[in-house]
A and B are shown apart, each in its own frame.
Chain A
Amino acid sequence: MYLYDHYDQAMVDARVAEFRDQARRRLEGKLTEDQFKPLRLMNGLYLQLHAYMLRVAIPYGTLNSRQMEVLADIADKYDRGYGHFTTRQNIQYNWIKLEDAGDILADLASVEMHAIQTSGNCIRNISADHFAGAAADEVADPRPYAELMRQWSSFHPEFSYLPRKFKIAVIASAKDRAAMRLHDIGIRIVKRGNDSGGELGAQFYAGGGMGRTPMIAPLIRDFVPLDQLITYAEACLRVYNRYGRRDNKYKARIKILVHELGAAEYTRQVEEEFAHMLEQGVEPPREELARIAAFFADPPFVDAPKSIDRSNPAFDAWVKANTHRHKHDSYVSAVISLKPAGGIPGDATAEQMRVMARLAKQYSFDELRVMHTQNVLLPHVAIADLPAVWAALDAAGLAAANMDSIEDIIACPGLDYCSLANARSIPLAQRISEKFAATGKSAALGELKLKISGCINACGHHHAGHIGILGVDKKGRENYQLSLGGSEAEDVSLAKITGPGFDEDGVIAAVEKVTDVYLARREDGERFLDTYRRIGMEPFKEALYA
């Protein structure tokens, strides 16, 4: 993985010192909250429902064991012994004291981490396929390009005050495991020409997003040569920065601009800007990309036995559900579920983080990935090591065998933690996962992605859930809208609302009814989403509202 050079470290260290001074001045009363707020947000420090919340960037979700250990130490030393992994492949701490913030940032900087650009109207943490560098189906490792974009976008003076926040995802396979087309810019690395000697380039999608106005990003360029990647991205940003609305924050995201201009006109303007910028020489030299790419060389994989004893049913179920095909046939990528039945999606205790760090060091070439599904991945585990890995995870309460099942719920922090939320998300996730695990029904349902947001900002990706739940405030009481048919994968679609909302008990019963319709109507090999697309909304509505 990428290691800081002295420029990277100097930038982060300087920011720590700067923020330490800003926090000191705030505590001494030399800055008002209005003056301080934009400064703390630039460093990922929010004021949430119960305390300050710190969001730490984990670039494209990749971290090593030492970094994970420091995240654990921060949870113990400065928070309440746990952290929350997010759908942006970051981690959040919910109980931070302002007087500790400088020390926390210094601890993070000691392991090449920070909280810069995890808030504000800037380019946020670049996300990527969590299987990057390990997946058998990718045409290239997308992380060097994500890292190049991280460096380009960090402290970019032109894009520090965009009309709104800006999120970029990079993938490199036909499968979309990063919700790529639901980002402001989605980039897919593709290969043109034959498999053995084709040229790599980038497809650009622009204007996707969730929130109150969900949109799927249209393709605006089907091939950008990789030595023009940054130039093209910069052209996309420039057009947005110039014409994106600043008068209404609800209409300020790039998706609104692309929608209102039309994809063709937005593309025309980007191409015009791109042609101009090609003459300006803004692209980093090829040597820089080569320097970055060298950090992402394959670890020293070795051929090893592929046969293991799977007679333990629990282990067998975990291998089936939570391991993913690796590009080296002696290895798999192993998903560490942070979704125990009845648990809080994405939460991990400090001790669990240390277990994950230890396993990464021992069994996964010192690498971990935070997944946008709020789980953690060991990207390179030898098949022969799976029994030992599973046993350690099981002992730590991290071996739920539920990847992509109805128990693998994405849920935002909701009204239990978030000052923007209208309703609680986590209790729903807890009750649903507990209910379906207890009855054993989740295994029968197969792949079924359920996503819950506690407000219209859609941090829980409810628009993209096979089943989505949105919490709203209905005359001071929590109410939940149910939606069906969303997908954030390569078959991307936006979920549609079923009809009137439900209270907490009602929406849980509704989820059960919806799954019953699926089980009754599915045909061979159909996932929930396939059945929904074949039979439409009506049978589900009949079951819900008859």
Chain B
Amino acid sequence: MKILTGNDLRTGAVTWWDGTGWSLHVNDAVDVGDEAEVIIAREVAARRVNVPYAIEATRAIDGVRPAHIKDRIRALGPTVRPDLTLKPQDPQAIDWVI
């Protein structure tokens, strides 16, 4: 699947296109198919996201998993500071990245 990610204009936070807006959680990401460029153009114009781009990902039982480790780190947070990730209570979260 192809999903969209970018950064929130105000906060810089990593966000994912959920079909209607931008979510902090990669599991909310939807397959945009061939619509990536259209959505990106519209959302940038609306100032709802900063420097968005499309990436490859897979959907499995445990949710959406970006293909590249860089985007998985973006999705979770720094692997060296579990307390600053989106899943500070999940001891398995770092394994998901790697």
**Binding partners A and B:** yes
Contact between A49 and B80 (Cβ–Cβ < 8 Å)? no
Please give me the residue from chain B that is nearest to A423 by CB atom: B69
Is the contact region of chain A dominated by helix, strand, or loop, or is it mixed? mixed
Instruction: Kindly state the separation between the CA atoms of A52 and B13 in the bound complex, as whole angstroms.
Output: 8
A476-B13 contact given A33-B51, A80-B84, A430-B80, CB 8 Å threshold? no
Give bound CA distance, A419 to B70, whole Å. 8
> Do B13 and A415 touch across chains, with their CB atoms under 8 A apart?
no
Instruction: Kindly list chain B residues whose C-beta atoms are within 8 Å of the C-beta of A114.
Output: none
Of B11, B14, B47, B78, which contacts A97 at CB under 8 A?
A: B11
CB distance from A454 to the nearest CB of B (A): 11
Whether A47 contacts B12 by the Cβ 8 Å rule is: yes
Q: Given the known A-B contacts A98-B9, A415-B69, A476-B69, are A50 and B14 also in contact in the complex, defined by CB atoms under 8 Å?
A: yes
Whole-angstrom CA separation of A228 from B68 in the bound complex: 53
Given A50-B78, A426-B80, A430-B80, A415:B73 Cβ within 8 A: yes
Distance (whole angstroms) from the CB of B56 to the closest CB of chain A: 10
With A33-B50, A96-B12: A51-B7 Cβ-Cβ less than 8 Å: yes
Q: Which residues from 60 to 92 on chain B have a C-beta closer than 8 Å to any C-beta of chain A?
A: 67-70, 73-74, 77-81, 84
Query: Which chain A positions have C-beta within 8 A of B74?
Result: 49-50
The answer to whether A98 touches B10 (Cβ under 8 A) is yes
Chain B residue at smallest Cβ distance from A37: B51
Which among B9, B47, B70 has the greatest number of chain A C-beta atoms within 10 A?
B70
Q: A residues near B, CB below 8 A?
A: 26-27, 29, 33, 47-52, 80, 94-99, 344, 415-417, 419, 421, 424, 426-427, 430, 476-478
Taken together as a complex, chains A and B put the C-alpha atoms of A533 and B10 apart, in Å, by 52
Cα–Cα distance between A47 and B53 once the two chains are bound (Å): 14
Q: Give A473 to B81 CA distance when docked, in angstroms.
A: 22
A51 pairs with B13, CB closer than 8 A: yes
Of the candidates B10, B14, B70, B84, which one forms a contact with A99 in the assembled complex, judged by CB atoms under 8 Å apart? B10
Q: Could you list some 24 contacts between A and B, CB below 8 A?
A: A26-B9, A29-B47, A33-B51, A47-B7, A48-B12, A49-B73, A49-B74, A50-B14, A50-B74, A51-B12, A94-B78, A95-B84, A97-B10, A97-B11, A97-B12, A99-B11, A344-B81, A415-B70, A416-B80, A424-B73, A426-B78, A426-B80, A476-B69, A478-B69
Instruction: Write out the residue numbers on chain B whose beta carbons fall within 8 Å of the beta carbon of A344.
Output: 80-81
Question: By the criterion CB–CB under 8 Å, are B11 and A424 in contact?
Answer: no
A542 to B81 Cα, complex, angstroms: 37
| CB-defined contacts of B80 to chain A, threshold 8 Å | 344, 416, 424, 426-427, 430
Question: In this complex, what residue of A is CB-closest to B94?
Answer: A427
**B12 and A424 contacting across the interface, CB-CB below 8 Å:** no
Residues in chain B within 8 A of chain A (CB atoms): 7, 9-14, 44, 47, 50-51, 67-70, 73-74, 77-81, 84
Q: How far is B70's CA from A424's CA once the two chains are assembled, in angstroms?
A: 10
Is A476 touching B10 in the complex (CB atoms < 8 A)? no
> Inside 8 A of B47's CB, which chain A residues have their CB?
29
New contact pairs (11) apart from A49-B74, A51-B14, CB-CB < 8 Å: A27-B9, A29-B47, A50-B74, A51-B7, A51-B11, A80-B84, A415-B69, A416-B73, A416-B79, A416-B81, A476-B68
B13 CB contacts on chain A under 8 angstroms: 50-51
Docked Cα-Cα span, A417 to B73, in Å, equals 9
Q: Which residue of A lies closest to B46 (CB)?
A: A29
Chain B residues, CB < 8 A from A98:
9-12
Nearest CB in chain B: distance from A214 CB, A: 25
A29-B43 Cα distance, complex, nearest whole Å: 12
B7 — nearest CB in chain A belongs to which residue? Answer: A47
Q: Which of B78, B81, B84 has the most CB of A within 10 A?
A: B78
- Min CB–CB distance B73 → chain A (angstroms): 6
B68 touches A416 (CB 8 A): no
Complex: how many Å from CA A509 to CA B12? 38
Measured CB to CB, the closest approach of chain B to A426, in angstroms, equals 5
CB distance from A193 to the nearest CB of B (A): 52
- Min C-beta distance of A308 to chain B, whole Å: 37
Q: Which residues of A lie under 8 Å from residue B84 when comparing CB positions? A: 80, 95
Distance between Cα atoms of A135 and B40 in the complex (Å): 56
Find the B residue at minimum CB distance from A46: B12
Closest-by-CB residue of A relative to B45 is A29
Query: In the bound complex, do residue A27 and residue B10 qualify as a contact, i.e. CB atoms below 8 Å apart?
Result: yes
Shortest Cβ-Cβ A-B pairs, 8 listed: A51-B12, A52-B12, A416-B78, A426-B80, A29-B47, A97-B11, A99-B10, A416-B80
Shortest Cβ distance from A420 into B: residue: B70
Residue of B nearest to A36 (CB): B50
Alpha-carbon separation in the docked complex, A50 to B12 (Å): 7
Q: What is the distance, in angstroms, from B43's C-beta to the closest C-beta of chain A?
A: 12
Q: Is A47 within 8 A of B10, CB to CB? A: no
Q: In the complex, A80→B85 CA distance in Å?
A: 12
Chain B proximity of A124: nearest CB distance (Å)? 23
Question: Chain A CB within 10 Å — which of B51, B77, B79, B80 has the most?
Answer: B80
Hey, which chain A residues are within 8 Å of B67, CB to CB? 476
Q: Which residues of the other chain, A, contact B7 by a CB distance below 8 angstroms? A: 47, 51
Provide the bound-state CA to CA distance between A394 and B47, in Å. Answer: 48
The smallest C-beta distance from B25 to any residue of chain A, in angstroms, reads 14
Contact present for B50 and A424 (CB under 8 Å): no
Q: A29 CA to B7 CA in the complex, in Å?
A: 15
Contacts of B68 in A (CB 8 A): 476
Q: Which residues of B contact A48 (CB under 8 A)?
A: 12
Shortest CB-to-CB span from B78 to chain A, Å, is 4
CB-nearest residue of chain A relative to B70? A415
Q: How far is the CA of A344 from the CA of B44 in the complex (A)?
A: 36
Enumerate chain B residues within 8 angstroms of A29, measured Cβ to Cβ. Answer: 47
How far is it, in angstroms, between the C-alpha of A415 and the C-alpha of B71 when the chains are bound? 10
In the complex, how many angstroms separate the beta carbon of A102 from the nearest chain B beta carbon?
A: 13
Chain B residues whose CB sits within 8 angstroms of the CB of A52 once the complex forms: 12
